[in-house]
């Protein structure tokens, strides 16, 4: 079941012209949204923030804006069946909305943590990192390689080995009474939950700082996690690197400071 160009399609295939730039070049902008309590207007759903992300990308690329009313109508139709929606916009303003379910092991990942893999190599970089486009090949390859090695997430790095983000989210680290996040200047996605959590922590007088995540800095962290709109907060308990593996405390009490945002 999917929504495309103003109508519901009750099958899992979609017909596109063979010359469609979305097919040839991955020319789409998208955002993935978790819908809480089946409501687009529930605060944690962040409907307006997701629409702003789409608009920001489309205007940067000089593409046509979608029919926003039609986009919302499609989301309202699918949200009765799916808790997660991926909203895709084509260069000519066509909208496509796909629904999916939360991972079956999400609660286990959130509480016990996961294994991550540092994806070292030019293959594992993301084009136009400030935007979510249909060309996610580098991140997809990194996540596939992580799975091959027995990890559940991949960490993308720059040419100097500095950690940037994961294949699907933003990084968070804790030490010395402060939360730390990689700087946007390094070339990462300004995630919606990243921004929301920064504001939330600051409102609680909890220190959060941006910096460059060098290898030495990473090894000084007491806890490491990643966030995105679907998975919320996922801590790491082990990180696989090309040099030596890193063991991390996935039950660090400071993680509750992040989790509290989703319990409001």
CA angle at residue 163 from 160 to 167, to 5 degrees? 120
Question: Which residues are within 8 A (CB) of 13 and not within 5 positions of it... i.e. 6 or more apart?
Answer: none
pLDDT at 264 over 80: no
**Strands ordered across the beta sheet of 84-89:** 7-9, 2-4, 95-100, 84-89, 29-34
Query: In a 3-state reduction of DSSP, which class is residue 14?
Result: coil
Question: The pTM is what?
Answer: 0.95
Q: What pLDDT, in 10s, does the model give residues 195-246?
A: 999 999 999 999 999 999 999 999 999 999 999 999 999 999 999 998 889 9
CA–CA dist 132, 88 (Å, integer): 10
Q: Which domains are seen in the chain, by residue range?
A: 2-100 (3.30.470.10), 106-263 (3.20.10.10)
Q: What pLDDT, in 10s, does the model give residues 99-158?
A: 999 999 999 999 999 999 999 988 898 889 999 999 999 999 999 999 999 999 999 999
CA–CA dist 15, 94 (Å, integer): 13
CA–CA dist 189, 129 (Å, integer): 6
Q: Is residue 166 within 8 Å of 156, Cβ to Cβ?
A: yes
Is the Cα torsion angle 44, 86, 30, 153 positive or negative in sign?
positive
């Amino acid at each position: 079941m999917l929504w495309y160009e103003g109508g519901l399609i009750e099958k899992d295939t979609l017909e596109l012209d063979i010359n469609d730039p979305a097919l040839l070049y991955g020319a789409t902008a998208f955002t993935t949204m978790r819908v809480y309590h089946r409501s687009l207007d529930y605060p944690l759903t962040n409907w307006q923030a997701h629409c702003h992300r789409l608009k920001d990308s489309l205007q940067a690329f000089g593409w046509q804006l979608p029919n926003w009313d039609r986009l919302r109508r499609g989301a309202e139709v699918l949200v009765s069946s799916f808790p997660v929606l991926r909203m895709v916009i084509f260069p000519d303003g066509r909208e496509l909305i796909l629904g999916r379910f939360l991972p079956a092991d999400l609660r286990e990942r959130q509480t016990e943590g996961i294994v991550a893999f540092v994806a070292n190599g030019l293959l594992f970089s993301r084009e136009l990192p400030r935007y979510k486009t249909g060309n996610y090949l580098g991140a997809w390859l990194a996540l596939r390689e992580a799975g091959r090695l027995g990890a559940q997430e991949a960490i993308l790095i720059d040419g100097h080995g500095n950690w940037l983000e994961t294949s699907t989210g933003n990084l968070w680290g804790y030490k010395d009474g402060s939360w730390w996040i990689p700087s946007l200047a390094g070339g990462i996605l300004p995630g919606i939950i990243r921004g929301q959590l920064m504001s939330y922590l600051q409102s609680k007088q909890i220190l959060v700082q941006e910096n460059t995540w060098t290898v030495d800095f990473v090894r000084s962290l007491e806890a490491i996690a990643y966030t995105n709109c679907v998975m919320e907060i996922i801590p790491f308990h082990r990180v696989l690197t090309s040099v030596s593996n890193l063991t991390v405390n996935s039950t660090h009490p400071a993680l509750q400071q992040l989790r509290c945002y989703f319990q409001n």
